[in-house]
Structure 1
Amino acid sequence: MTPPILPAKHSTSASAHAHHGHPPERRPHDLRPWQILLLFVACLGLVSIPILTHPIPPLSDYVNHLARMHVIASIPGDQDLARFYTLKWSILPNLMMDLIVPLIDKVVGIYTAGEIYTLMCFALIAGGTMTLNRTLFGVWSALPLLAFPLLYSGVFLIGVMNYYFGIGLALFALSAWVALRDKWWPWRYLVSAAFVVALFFCHLFTAGIYGIGILAYELDRLRLGRGPIWPRIGVFVSGGLPFLPILPLLLASPTWGLSGQNYWEPQGKIAGIELIFNVYIDHVAVAVAAIFIVAGVWAARHRLLYVHSFMLPLLLVAGLVYLAMPRVVFATYMADQRLPAAIVFMVLAAMRADLRHRFARRGFAVVLILMLAVRVGEVQVVWDRLSQWTVAFRESVTRIRPGSRVLVAYADIQGGNDPTDLGLMHAACLAMIEKSSLVTTAFTVEGKQILRARKPFNEQVDTEDGTPPQIEQLLVTEEDPTPDGPRYWDLWPSKFDYVYLLFTERGAPNPDSDHLKLIAEGERFQLYEVVPRPPALPALPAPPAPRS
């Protein structure tokens, strides 16, 4: 038996349900609003545990972003940071964290500010899912609480914090569009245009997520609407008007200079879907996905699952966009693979369950708590284990002199492919926070971030968001520059004070004892101090010529 499909327009009255083929006695029952609110607060508290117990979560880009927030909040008061870095504010589709976190940092400190911002992202996404569901169905429902177990995903591990904030904002934006759909039309377009601008500054891709939602919803309205077709087509086409501000914003942004850096890759499309459930442990991902599927099938077979008619066009539009999207867009990697982890919250918002029976209520509560406990437990256990090197890494930073220049290199080019290695990739940026250092891997890409390295230090950092050099590359560029073009690590012994060697092992031999001195190490890293070259001895005067 297939789940009931509700029409595009809804009313909470019994007569409305009877008119649309759902008699009053079959109207889905749910938990009371105050019960849903209590569950929301409880779930938010549970999902916050790994964040609150790990001030430096082992996420890939997180520490790099956090270091930039610290620089924004500290310049010009910190003379060392001001010597190395400057801020170049411009119209960038990647600014929300830069605007919020430095303000919080002035009150509570940078690590707590990062935790608060992360929990804001979680609350926005879960709250946006609940609100969109309420707008679509006309009543509050408990089923969107299932968004909480999906907040920790493979996409979250990358540390794309602006994108995560934008997902939540896009859900609220779509809620506003649906709520204003039958109101005075100028309000709908003005509110939507304001959301589009805000989403642009969160992340360009989140404006696209909002666009997918509006396109799917308007297709549903067009499909089920009545009356002359051409006026309805005109209204459908006009749904794109609020997105017009993106074009001038993008053209005025340095990000436009990255518009040619795109490529499409057929492999990895299935992996992008797996990122919805897969975090660290494959068995846990399979278990969570299986619980979702089994519970959904059971509810559908017992006619307890109600699906909004918006669901079908949403899946079609999102699926086509996902298949067509390149892997890299505007030099941003994993552009396509980020999409499923965002669309899944719209999918949840388009469903509600009939919880009139005590068994259904208990079953829903068991499924929710079980999945959330499994997911939070998985993250907590892995992060506790990873905190061993996190603590060791932070202790190693204390060995660095303030105002130093830090070069990051890899011992293993495959490092970072395992999810447990992601937090190490940008951990060296802790030296920016703790020691006001120059770090070669700090995000200073024009068109992506507002942070820039001052001259002459801009020639000593990665300005292309590339992969750090391998130790073999350092060994061949000690005395001579790279043959096929200058690299920021060329002649490194004379330009840097420390070298972080990542993805190595404790006790690994010193790769260059003439120029490096080991001063700290952990499970997956070593910190070397660069041995300064001895000053060249002055040339001895030539002996006098013998007299004839």
Structure 2
Amino acid sequence: MHASAHPDAVEAEAATSNSGTDTYKRTRHEALWMGIVLSLLAMLPAIVAWAPQMTDYPSHLAGFKVMLDHGHDPFLTRYFLFKWEWTGNLGAELLMVPLTKIMGLEAAGRFIVAAIPFLTGMAIMAVEWSLRKRIGVGAILAFAMIWSPSFLMGFLNYSLSIAFALFVLAGWVRLENWRWRWAVMIPASFVVWLCHVSGWGVMGVLIFGYEWSKRASWRDWRPFLRPWPLIFPLLPMLLGVGSNSKVSYGRFGVLEYKWQILYRAMRSYDMTFDIASLCVVVAVIVAALAIRRFDGRVGWAALILLILTLVVPRQIFGGDYADYRLSTAALLVACLAIDWPVPRWGLALAGLLFTARIAVTTVVWYEDAQTARQLVTALDYVPEGSRVATAIAIPRRQWFFGPFEHFGSYAVVRRSSMENSNFALPDVHMLSMRETRYRFNDPTQRILYSDSQRIDLRKFKPARHADYLWYIGRKAPVAIPDGARIVFATPNSFLARLPDSVDLANPDSGS
């Protein structure tokens, strides 16, 4: 890996490779505008869908509602507890406080989802511009990693932290010769950490990799000390503020799982298209390495992130997929390391990959949103404050991300219900259930099935503690609980009123 210490030298080299200075400047400005347009385009799925079609999003929205209620809703107060903690996982939560007052709960959540890919795109351009004073093919290629598996699953805080981590790297480079840089970086590090601790870790790797590329020799210890302004969020972590110490590699199949998260680094909605996209990105990275067009200032960070993907446990601090998140981050950073001047058609081809992928995501989100609009109509038949047991049938093997695995949380959002798909584990989440005699939270809503498996809802335990059973899945169950009466149905879902259900808003109407 080569390390270009002076952006002006890179700019001069790129200018020389073009037919003239004017042509180079014109191409540079065109690439800059292309990056801005792609950043705006990255928001498209969240614009066309009435609600974000992310796996975890409804449960996050339910958590936001309880968080912002402050005990005013008697049903939410009856069912849930919320304990604020200053921890490294608060990005969207902190944004929701002012935004909900301005635009309402659901609109605020949708705004945050739309803003994150835009910010990530702008952060990619900020890093590229800080390093090279131009927008190159690597940065345009990096856009394909914005809608990562982590983002599609609904890891809002982590995705936001990655955007801010990239902005911090850009600032670190731009302020390199300013003696007061530390005064900016200390609060910036806390901002990234508050968004998500994993993003703070990625930020540290980015800064260390940049400093390591400028080392005088392999024995030079200064790269280990220069990022010192970023270390201060470690203090609340060592004090145990809002932390969970659980660490796990999973129960079995660690090597197979690690291989899966590598080839699924660009997983979205079509296996063939996603793996083909990954092959294209990896091929360009390998080609850049082969012709020595790989910038060590970010290339070392990409290598470290790849290694961390392989060695980091799956679960850290109570969060899942700690390692999977890093695989796409490593790809994004590796793309930023590509320092390869190309003509306009090269930039266009790089942009075409992102455009094609965002088009697929937009179409899928629009279609899933139409299905979601049908599903959510079931809540018109649910009295406010009811107990709803959601059962989501999920194939054991599927490539695409299912948007309905936490859809039952809309019962909390719209009907202040007690519902069983929320992230509400004590000592892991700030949200928890008041009822502790039985489990009524994620993942009790999931029914994993194979093609030959029969789904018998008479055995569905959460239904024993509920007034309504809300089933969502492509496979029809063979039986429902005894005495249950279906009151609403769509082709792939139904809502059933269970025996002995009680309308808490009108107790005398219970049956």
Question: TM-score over 0.5 for the alignment?
Answer: yes
Cα deviation, 1:341-376, whole Å, max 9, x if unaligned, reads 122222222224424xxxx213422441x2233212
Q: CA deviation at 1:447?
A: 3.8
Matching residue of 2:245: 259
Matching residue of 1:521: 489
Which amino acid in 1 is paired with 2:432? R
Matching residue of 1:468: 445
Change (3 A) 1:385 1:129: same
Q: Is the 8 A contact 2:458 2:482 kept in 1?
A: no
Matching residue of 1:442: 422
1:384-399 correspondence runs (5 A): 384-399=366-381
Structure 1 residue 84 corresponds to structure 2 residue 79: yes
Which amino acid in 2 is paired with 1:157? L
- Counterpart secondary structure, 1:521: strand
Matching residue of 2:383: 401
Cα deviation, 1:160-197, whole Å, max 9, x if unaligned, reads 1111001101111122222333331xx33343332322
Q: CA deviation at 1:427?
A: 0.1
Q: Is the 8 A contact 2:27 2:344 kept in 1?
A: no
Matching residue of 1:530: 498
Which amino acid in 2 is paired with 1:178? V
Question: 2: distance between equivalents of 1:66 and 1:416?
Answer: 26
1:321-400 correspondence runs (5 A): 321-355=308-342, 360-368=343-351, 370-400=352-382
Matching residue of 1:68: 63
Query: Which deviates more from structure 2 when the two are superposed, residues 57-66 or residues 309-318?
Result: 309-318
Which amino acid in 1 is paired with 2:265? I
Question: 1: distance between equivalents of 2:35 and 2:133?
Answer: 18
Matching residue of 2:3: 7
Unaligned runs of at least 5 residues, structure 2: 448-453, 503-511
1:36-75 correspondence runs (5 A): 36-75=31-70
Question: 2: distance between equivalents of 1:63 and 1:416?
Answer: 22
Q: CA deviation at 1:452?
A: 3.0
Question: 2: distance between equivalents of 1:147 and 1:407?
Answer: 41
1:291-302 correspondence runs (5 A): 291-292=280-281
- Counterpart secondary structure, 1:406: strand
Q: Is the 8 A contact 1:218 1:236 kept in 2?
A: yes
Which amino acid in 1 is paired with 2:378? S
Matching residue of 1:497: 467
Question: 1: distance between equivalents of 2:106 and 2:32?
Answer: 29
Question: 2: distance between equivalents of 1:434 and 1:373?
Answer: 35
Q: Is the 8 A contact 2:263 2:275 kept in 1?
A: no
Question: 2: distance between equivalents of 1:496 and 1:341?
Answer: 40
- Counterpart secondary structure, 1:126: helix
Change (3 A) 1:298 1:442: closer
Of structures 1 and 2, the larger Rg is shown by: 1
- Counterpart secondary structure, 1:268: helix
Change (3 A) 1:318 1:45: closer
Matching residue of 2:267: 278
Which amino acid in 1 is paired with 2:272? H
Which amino acid in 2 is paired with 1:333? D
Task: Please report the TM-score for the alignment, with normalisation by the length of structure 1.
Answer: 0.79
2:233 pairs with 234, 246, 265, which one? 246
Question: 1: distance between equivalents of 2:174 and 2:328?
Answer: 24
1:182 pairs with 166, 177, 182, which one? 177
Q: CA deviation at 1:474?
A: 7.2
Q: Is the 8 A contact 2:91 2:194 kept in 1?
A: yes
Question: 2: distance between equivalents of 1:157 and 1:47?
Answer: 13
Question: 2: distance between equivalents of 1:179 and 1:521?
Answer: 58
- Counterpart secondary structure, 1:307: coil
Unaligned runs of at least 5 residues, structure 1: 479-488, 535-548
Change (3 A) 1:240 1:7: closer
Q: Is the 8 A contact 1:95 1:162 kept in 2?
A: yes
2:194 pairs with 194, 198, 201, which one? 201
Q: Is the 8 A contact 2:411 2:417 kept in 1?
A: yes
Task: Please report the TM-score for the alignment, with normalisation by the length of structure 2.
Answer: 0.85
Q: Is the 8 A contact 1:70 1:102 kept in 2?
A: no
Q: Is the 8 A contact 2:208 2:224 kept in 1?
A: no
Question: 2: distance between equivalents of 1:503 and 1:446?
Answer: 29
1:512 pairs with 481, 493, 505, which one? 481
Matching residue of 1:25: 16
Change (3 A) 1:30 1:314: farther
Structure 1 residue 158 corresponds to structure 2 residue 174: no
Question: 2: distance between equivalents of 1:69 and 1:160?
Answer: 14
Q: CA deviation at 1:439?
A: 1.2
Change (3 A) 1:189 1:298: closer
Q: Is the 8 A contact 2:457 2:480 kept in 1?
A: no
Q: What percentage of residue pairs aligned between the two structures are identical?
A: 20
Change (3 A) 1:345 1:427: same
Could you say what the CA RMSD is over the residues aligned between the two structures, in angstroms?
3.3
Change (3 A) 1:521 1:416: farther
Q: Is the 8 A contact 1:209 1:343 kept in 2?
A: no
Structure 1 residue 128 corresponds to structure 2 residue 128: no
Question: 1: distance between equivalents of 2:97 and 2:183?
Answer: 29
Question: 2: distance between equivalents of 1:415 and 1:23?
Answer: 51
Change (3 A) 1:37 1:140: closer
Query: Which deviates more from structure 2 when the two are superposed, residues 279-288 or residues 239-248?
Result: 239-248
